[in-house]
Amino acid sequence: MRVSKFLTLGFLTLLGNVLWSQAFQSEITSASNIRMAVSNFGTFGNSFDGYRDGSGTPSCMFPAGSGIENLFEGGIWVGGKLNGADIRVTTAAIDAPSGYTAGAGGFETYALTPLINRSSLFDSKNYSADAVSHEDFVSTISDTVQFYPGTSIRVGGPNHQPMGIEITMETYNWNYLFSDFVVFVNFTIKNTGSNYYDDLYVGLWNNTVVRNVNITPPGGANFYNKGGNGYLDSLNLNYCFDATGDPGFTDNYIGQKFLGASDKEGFHSPQIDSNYNQLTGQWELDNFKANYQAWVFNDFTAQFAAPSNEGQRYDKMREGLNYSPCWNNPNDPGCPGNKDYQALLGQAGNRSDLISAGPFARFEPGDEVVVTFAYVLAKKNEDGQPASANTPTQRMNLVSNAGFSQETYNGEDVNFNGILDDGEDLDGDGKITRFILPTPPATPITKVIAQDDKIDIYWTNNSVESIDPISNKADFEGFRIYLSTLGFDVNGTSNLAESLKLIASFDSLGNGKFFDTGFDDIKLVEEKTFEGDTNVYQFRYTINNINNGWQNAVAVTAFDKGDEERNIQSLESSYLANDYRVFAGTEANSSMEKNEPFAYPNPYYYGAAWEGQSNFQEESRKMIFANLPARCNIRIYTVAGDFIDEIQHNESYDGSDIRWFKTFGSENEEDNIFSGGEHAWDLLSFGSQIISRGLYMFSVEDLDTGEKFTGKFIIIK
């Protein structure tokens, strides 16, 4: 799902140079299992706009479709000493109850370019040779404009003093199962002004809020004040979790991790510029550091007070709580009041948090600084303790995912020293290449057909021909077919990744790997084509005994042999890259006389098992008309003949006319697969009124033959 929100459009003239100002644009990541809003203004998350305007657009949902949100809003912060003296800070976002608002103080960046979507996948419409991941979002941002074009609205509010910087923002995410928990954020900050800055810091600020919106809709202070926070110094990782909000329904961690940086003096990381003391849990040597800060949302008097001006924001970036005497030892003489910072932050509350890196060398006109962070998501590792305990065992998946994210960022820099050592230049380009992942076979190109009580899945042999970019070998091994558990979509905690279950596996014969099943049972004797589809399909698998009307998710993956020499296990393509939501049912009906249309379930009870719970309950009901002609009109009446509603049906029906499929179906309507002879109705009148219980009539008119049929159904509340 993608949405765009446009606030400004025009151009501006600044110091004789024409700069094009772009509309505020927000896109949702979709390659990984994270659905995070990314804007071309340098902000992340959408302040839960989707739950205020009814669109349901996620802010930072993980896993996709689960209803578990993790982020209200975030953004880049940059600060330094102007010409070595006065403090200047530019913030893309700050604490604000309504999130981004044009002209609001603290929202001090604007876009020079639209948000560009590019992909490294050859079969993607957004393919680009410059792409790093399966889905990159790229934008160029600046803080130097004074007013939104054509308005008197001042960018950043009346007190904003631009630093004179330009930021190229890039986000990366992949659809691999082994990396679907991370979105990388790469910032290149350029000094486009005439001043220099000393002691420059770059930070990633976030108001993380971890709650299950399917259980508790957003709104009110009690929704936002249930988060616990923490920081793992050895990983340069701050994190948030739901401490007391929705026990059992929000078992997530979200973290923001500093990965590395570079400037004109070279590569920087605390692991290189400082020494980590395992006993004290701190970095020693007062030079380049990763700093962690947290403060109570919009509260300027609390134990962890929010910054209210540029000087205080700069102090937050350059002075980390993780370096305070109160961090590891509340009994330290330098800790006022003997306060245990880590214990206090772990308690439920509504906090903003910040991870920053620096200081960088003198930032002169024309200089560039590159800083990379990652949003790392993870499921809590269950240990029987309540979420508020936040035990090391519960954080195991977060730690593992953070470690993988660092390794991915390191790429060819295996020693993580910022130097290309012997044997590290895998691609032979003479420089460090970062963001390198092992690669499974290509995702099978799939065609899914819904039929009466069964599902047919066809796919091509594109995976068989995949070449591994590291070994440069064709290492395809086999296919796996997945089917979701019944009712996964309506149980309030939908997690497709956990709901898909392996139902069949086929692999190569004679190599002693896996089960040696061969492909005879799925290989088509004659290749299959479909009208309007240019693909040629070589494989088919049929799933029988499917309940009509229910949603079933299906997927086909490909896996490789693994690489024993490089100690790489067998890798599998993501079932989230080609999953389809399938609704088995009757096919288009050629004779209503022989096969009478009908409605089901009949009688219909409000609260039917497939309805589920949503924030739009009365709009999210579903009754199905079946045995329909390919093109027909359906009309619903009371027994007294009063008109209720009319539905136009054709065999390409996609469910987009009622809310149920928007709430519980696929994010992409084209991935909802129907049988052609069924159509769902939301039990609302033509004027969207709730209808009462009782007996109702429906008529079906075949628009091709003129044939008509009349039936009835009962609604029981």
Segment 46-86, tens digit of pLDDT: 999 988 777 889 999 999 988 899 999 999 999 999 999 99
One fold for 446-583 and 598-716:
yes
Looking at residues 647-654, what average pLDDT do you find? 94
Looking at residues 475-481, what average pLDDT do you find? 95
Eight-class DSSP state of 370: E
SS3 letters across 580-623: EEEECCCECCCCCCCCCCEEECCCEECCCCCCCCCCCHHHCCCE
pLDDT band of residue 17 (cuts 50, 70, 90) is: very low
Q: Which residue has the tokens 């919106």?
A: 213
pLDDT band of residue 178 (cuts 50, 70, 90) is: confident
Contact criterion met (CB below 8 Å) for 242 and 252: yes
Looking at residues 121-142, what average pLDDT do you find? 92
**Range in 96-110, 169-183, 615-629 the model is least confident about:** 615-629
Kindly state the percentage of the chain with pLDDT values over 70.
Answer: 91
pLDDT band of residue 24 (cuts 50, 70, 90) is: confident
Burial category of 239 from C-beta neighbours within 10 Å (exposed 0-12, middle 13-18, buried 19 and up)? buried
Q: 598-716 adopts what CATH topology?
A: Immunoglobulin-like (2.60.40)
Domain 446-583 has CATH 1.10.1060: no
Bridge partners for 294 per DSSP: 353
Segment 529-581, tens digit of pLDDT: 999 999 999 999 999 999 999 999 999 999 998 877 666 778 899 888 888 99
Q: Where are the domains of the chain?
A: 10-410, 446-583, 598-716
Mean of all residue pLDDT scores within the chain: 88
Kindly tell me the number of DSSP H helices and DSSP E strands found in the chain.
9, 42
Residue predicted with more confidence, 336 or 451: 451
pLDDT for the residue numbered 1: 27
Segment 277-289, tens digit of pLDDT: 556 555 454 589 9
**Range in 356-365, 657-666, 682-691 the model is least confident about:** 657-666
Where b means 16+ CB within 10 Å and e means fewer, 192-228 reads bbebbbebbbbbbbbbbbbbbbbbbebeeeebbbbbb
Looking at residues 653-669, what average pLDDT do you find? 84
Cα-Cα-Cα-Cα dihedral sign, residues 90, 96, 102, 105? negative
pLDDT for the residue numbered 520: 95
The yes-or-no verdict on residue 587 having pLDDT over 90 is yes
pLDDT band of residue 388 (cuts 50, 70, 90) is: very high
Beta strands (DSSP E) in 208-311 are 211-212, 227-232, 237-242, 252-263, 266-268, 275-277, 282-284, 289-296
Q: How far apart are CA 154 and CA 148, in angstroms?
A: 6
Q: In 3D, which of 683, 655, 531, 505 has the Cα closest to residue 582?
A: 655
Token pair for residue 130? 């410059």
pLDDT for the residue numbered 273: 64
pLDDT for the residue numbered 4: 35
pLDDT for the residue numbered 471: 63
Q: How far apart are CA 109 and CA 112, in angstroms?
A: 10
Segment 85-97, tens digit of pLDDT: 999 999 999 998 8
